[in-house]
Structure 1
């Protein structure tokens, strides 16, 4: 998610006006990650082509963005003409008629070129309701030089048992390097995105087929205990405050031996202008805890995407902008300005068929494999769509509440057992109140 260090929680407002006397101003809510910041820097290309449209950017930290756009769209607040949302919101909000379908993105847009798992995740009843700016799954990023020095070899399909032992070995051999960095910042899209995936790697879900919460099950107990143990023994101090941005900064400074997170991180940690360890980064699948490792289904599926709230009075201009920002031509613009390795990943089939991209991006194959292997559909053992999240309205508040319990366990304010017990009680109470549990 990020090209440079960014101040967490900051709100930035940028105005990119076109020609004098522009008739339409779009207010765009977006997340403070590197790809989105880069897009803001390239918008003169858009305003030169569309001088009648001006762009106001409201740039927010991830948790704050979710709160702001959710409140705005649920109350028909009308603050934003374009919203940056993800695969969690789309099916829920489209079902509530809170989003407009994207049907006029341009004659050369090529909707069918969007990777099938991503297109399906952003569609409802066969209509696209959000266009992906970039998409991701999860992977393991690690320091090849540290592994070599420690006599370790990353398996093709790493297990959590191996990862913990490697973190211990490298931590003991290096005073200035943390064996592992993981998300600890509370939030349904922060620490719970990671923990939801780790628990799935141990065969656990958020809810069973009858919507009973599963935080008291063995999969969650094993995952959270190991998570807390690895962070407290081999991770950085203050890990409960670290989200994607903070861990990216630590990794790029050479402070992390391993980092399990979004595949989009790969382009940032291999950029020599940003990363001190760019020449020594390897990639492996997200670890698993149960047998049949390569198909454990733990890797998540996410796309930061652009959508139009149903209350917008500037639909035509908003769709014109989204068509530009998520087009093939935009990918080529980034390649021209920044190089092919910096192109937003995970959205289009044609990108992964482009030899210029695959030769410049050593992580391309690993990213595509992770996305292709992610299956968020309803299964016999889980009644919800989603991998690292459950696509129900209640999950946003519940996931954040549970995330706070997990962060408290990492910071030592409660035990793993207490955190999971509190999570189970809160989840059972909420799911009963909402009518899922009869």
Structure 2
């Protein structure tokens, strides 16, 4: 059997460097919120496959559903021979999303595929081409998705020009120093200087920015965007790829707002670790594309659909929305005890709805200057101490916690102990 170092060496020889790694760990097996590497070492998982495993690694109900589906068939291509798991999952999503009026769903494979298809649908519905996104937002790495992503490094650097008719507005947050009023004024400038609202098909926004640092869109901003979209006939898209499926304490983060989007993109924890995504939205908009304009050979794979149906059952049976809020309270309470300690690297701005919790690492508490290098060291010391941890943020100084919602209190506490150890100042 290979060691971690040997497998990493093989990886470097066979796979391009553009696929980055947070850790040099090679997984051998995993269960719920724990991972064992190929050398037999155990880790607490605070990454959850980047928010994919809200129901944990290998949830028994999900695995049984997958095994049952594999015994029936694994692929037909839904556009050739349809199957009930796709239809049933679409029905269940249509019933639970915060969308006004009748809804319809298309199933796909990845988050980027969902955001790109959402734009295609919005363009078909409006007969317009323009798209407005936000600085710090992340919508994927494919060509339109990366154009909408509001961060150059590493998602656009050296990869050539992006597609036209995509514009960015500053995302309002305390961290960026941008108020709602300033963001809306910039949007008004954009409408006057660069793109008329009559040319804009969609505005896309993450209710809580994921890669951008777990900053939540203010209620006033979301209400204003809904009003602007209604005024100008623009489709409002909520990108819930990372925020969806209970991470914020509600099934979808848009449930924290008094307004609803026209379309939603869903992925990550949708199928408990199996590749599946969705665009769900108002039926009239979803029906705008002609037959053949949407789809994909593997889109809505029946095995992934079976897993996703089981995930929905797990959420109901295990009351995971309540659990998300409980875990969030446990995390923020413990992190608050670390915020003022002088023996740890300086920690600030503990935040997050539900279990979508993050904090910043800074050079000192007075200036609040981001410390990306210290953040890298904390992530490294975490995995060396048996904790899989992720950073993020526009300034690369945010630590985010995406522990499975099925994790026990004991596992959460153990992970927090290991996080605290990783934060200790180096001598």
Query: TM class by shorter-chain length?
Result: under 0.3
* Structure with more helix by fraction: 1
TM-score for both structures, normalised by structure 2? 0.27
